[in-house]
Amino acid sequence: MPEQEIKTNFSKGVATLEIARPQKKNAITGEMYLALAQALRDANVSPAVRSIVIAGQPGVFTAGNDLEDFMRHSGDEELPSVAFMRALAGCEKPVIAAVTGVAVGIGTTMLLHCDLVYVSQDARMSMPFVGLGLVPEFASSLLLPALVGHAKAAEMLLLGEPFGAAEAVALGIANAALPAGEVVEHARRMAERFDALAPAAVRETKKLLKQPRMDAVLRAIAAEVAVFNDRLGSPEVREALSAFFQKRKPDFSQFS
């Protein structure tokens, strides 16, 4: 994997993980997931790191999974994205997301596991799993209904309806919407505040916030991954991916 696809930086107690593949709209490959997972684990055990920022490129957070890379997955091995899911869900330190532009699929579901989320005013989030013949991931089938209610979650997950920055804030998915040029710097300023706070107290507070649902989150991730993995070899996914690469609408009329 070219080193520049996941950039890491450390300053003032903040470890910044930057998805840096702008030529592919920051689509994430298996190797990139593994790099992100390792960077999160490293930051989690480093005494110098007090908080973590996850950011993309100007105008694009991530287009989600790299579909070409996805098509090469055999289905007999664990998806590399699962390592990233476990690392983020289990991170003991505050994680702040800085989202500009589009956040597709896991680009949106990962926000449900971040502690603070700042989005650009032009941000556009979506979870188009069903449209690809797939199912939700990263415990979104559990966390999203708990956060926004069943009806709204069904709209987002069953229909794949996109939503913008103002709605993300109103629904409690994001803390604030800012001008695009200010998002990353604001996220870093908020992250730097943890450098002056008692680190053990921060970790224990996050644990208290997350622990009541952690077992359920891990079970949901495992259940979703089992179905997701099974779906990868399905005729519906083959049709959806063929349509994507042929730049046409998928035809699901032949399936029941």
Please write the tens of the pLDDT for every residue from 15-30: 999 999 999 999 999 9
Longest dimension (CA), the chain: 60
- Residue ranges covered by each domain of the chain: 3-180
How much is the pTM?
0.96
pLDDT tens column, 57-95: 999 999 999 998 877 776 667 899 999 999 999 999 999
Beta-bridge partner residues of 30: none
Query: Which pLDDT score is estimated for 3?
Result: 46
CA distance 38 to 16: 13
The count of residues in the chain is 256
Question: Could you tell me the CATH superfamily of domain 3-180?
Answer: 2-enoyl-CoA Hydratase; Chain A, domain 1 (3.90.226.10)
- 109: nearest Cα among 96, 95, 125, 87: 125
